[in-house]
Amino acid sequence: MIVPMMKYSLIVFYKEYQSFLQQLQELGLVDITISAWKANDEERSLVEKIKNYRQAVQHLKSVAKTQKNQQNIEKDDIPVDKALEIYKNANGKLIKLKAELDKISKETVELAAWGDFDANYIETLQKAGISLHFYELNEKRFEEFKNRWNEKYSITEISNINKKTYFVIAATVSEVFEFDLPELKQPSITYSRALENIKHIETEIEEQQSIINRSVACINDFADESERLSDDLHLSKAANSGETAADGKLVILEGWATVDTQTEVDNLLNASGAVYIKEQPTPEDDTPVKLKNNRFARLFEFIEQFYTLPKYGTIDMTPYCAPFYIFFFGFCLCDGGYGLLFVIMGLFIAQKMKNAVIRSVGWLAFWCGLATLLFGIATGSFFGASLGDFKLFEPYKNIFLDSQKLFYLALGAGIIHLLFAMGVKAYGKAKYFGFRHALSTIGWMIVLVISIFALVIVPEYGLIIPCGSEIFWSAFGLGLFFMFFCNSPGKNIFINFGTGLWNTYNDITGILGDALSYLRLFALGLSGSILAMVFNSLAFGMSPDVIILKQIVIVIILTIGHILNLCMSALGAFVHPMRLTFVEFYKNSGFEAGQRVFTPLKKEKIRT
């Protein structure tokens, strides 16, 4: 559900403005409206510092994972900003040194071919007008080259590495070679000197890495400073969002608090001496949104927020979408074995992980896995094997859902989902605007239910219904009346009828397309089951008829095949129910998007 809010219009004397905001921050219950924020130099500096601290924390956490006995690292007794500067300098140097080491290491591999040479001797030759030219050829081509040009040029073989011959030709500076051969760059240092440079760089890398390792002890300090600076930035944003009045002597700002905390906010405002007006939000206000759901529905809030938050004054769809999402996930994955894996994995994550967000993901995986397990039992599929082929389950073979039943189940689930969405839309309109605004949607529901009942359910079971009876046509006519004449309460009959015709055309085409969209549940569930059966067939059909080797090949194919199928099917089972929620359900439930999250001005909890 969406937590009810109260709107506060605040007027504060400019000399007391900063201290007043600090009191609100200490209270931590009021969201200050910040409009058209443009960072000044001080705020830009805060943003940069926050980014540096957070990047340092993220990097040092990864460093800490590779360290042994990290609990024995002693923290240097220096200010946190100085500690960050030391870390940044060391990390910057480390990045440059690693890049330099990579470059020199590649050059050293090339220098190995030329070995150690006397640089002074080469310089003496150059002064005497003799230059050295460096080349490489494979062994065969070098022999051919040498046999052809050895009498004309001074060719000296230096080394032979990996069937490549490295050689030097000495010639006068002005001499032009008759052959066309790409020349290598003359080495600038010897191979031994290059090795010395590598050792020197590695020593420097160890020194800088040691500084970074010691900085691991400052992780909590960096995180706390990041939070403190974030508080300062939030306070600065709020301070600059006020509108001045009375020649700058008064500051006017807008704030929001939840209804259940308004007493505490009122007490602070009364004690501060600020002038304020408290009122209910209006549809025109940009009211922040805060969600409050039970433990089960809360698991799905992060999925709903992949799209956006609901607008204040509308209905939070999370508790309504949660059971359908689980049902659709199980339908898409549709295998008892895969569902069992999800249940085990979900329980492990939920019980063993410390992070609350990760634990909630574990519980979500558990519920989705449980739905998948039940669907697998209903369809008789367990890791692609048909349970109906086993003697234990053979008596129940006829009640397992086949592909035709799954097709109708997907279509039926879609229609129920859409009807439920319309019911949520009608409830929302009745709750916020009055019952008469819900009549048009209720009319659509009546017509759809009666049509489905008359055209699908009754013929399926061979029942006889009084289609010509007064009750049938009265209900059908009432639905049509609501559809065509209750679209725009308060407007004349012609506008209502015209709007009703237009809405009917759009709704008929839209609902038909929406209902067919749910066939993706059938397609995904069937394709995953078929792929699982294919991998089973490959495993037993392609394995050689050799004892032990046969079992090894079967295990390898089954393991790789089912892992691939599980990953692909789970991705589809995660995405497509989300798509059905965000497109089909949201559209038919009258969902309205909101953008602003309730973010009270408060101090983050700092470690002590």
Q: Which residue has the tokens 């470690």?
A: 607
- Stated as kind and residue range, the H or E segment containing 7 is strand 5-13
pLDDT tens figures, 315-353: 888 888 888 899 999 989 888 888 999 999 999 988 888
| Edge-first strand listing for the sheet containing 164-172 | 130-138, 164-172, 154-161
The Cα 147–Cα 533 span in angstroms is 66
| 481 has pLDDT over 80 | no
For residues 21-33, average pLDDT: 83
Residues of the chain with pLDDT > 70, as a percent, come to 82
The Cα 152–Cα 412 span in angstroms is 91
Measured torsion, CA atoms of residues 64, 70, 73, 76, in degrees rounded to the nearest 10: 20
Angle in degrees, CA 373, 378, 383, rounded to 5? 50
Q: What is the pTM of this model?
A: 0.66
Helix (H, G, I), strand (E, B) or coil at 138: strand
Mean pLDDT (the chain) is: 81
Which pLDDT value is given to residue 344?
Answer: 92
Which pLDDT value is given to residue 519?
Answer: 87
Which pLDDT value is given to residue 554?
Answer: 85
- Closest to 218 (Cα-Cα) out of 73, 24, 363, 337: 73
What's phi and psi for 116, nearest 5 deg? -100, 125
At 599, list the tokens. 């973010």
Are 433 and 592 spatial neighbours (Cβ–Cβ below 8 Å)?
A: no
pLDDT tens figures, 389-426: 767 666 666 767 778 888 888 888 888 888 888 887 87
Greatest alpha-carbon pair distance for the chain in Å reads 120
For residues 458-484, average pLDDT: 59
Q: How far is CA 354 from CA 133, 349, 358, 360, 607, in A?
A: 65, 9, 8, 11, 17
Highest mean pLDDT: which range of 25-39, 160-174, 461-475: 160-174
Go through the chain and tell me how many residues it has: 608
The Cα 253–Cα 370 span in angstroms is 50
| 480 has pLDDT over 70 | no
At 118, list the tokens. 């006397």
Query: b/e per residue, 34-55, with b = 16+ CB within 10 A?
Result: beeeeeeeebeebeebbebbbe
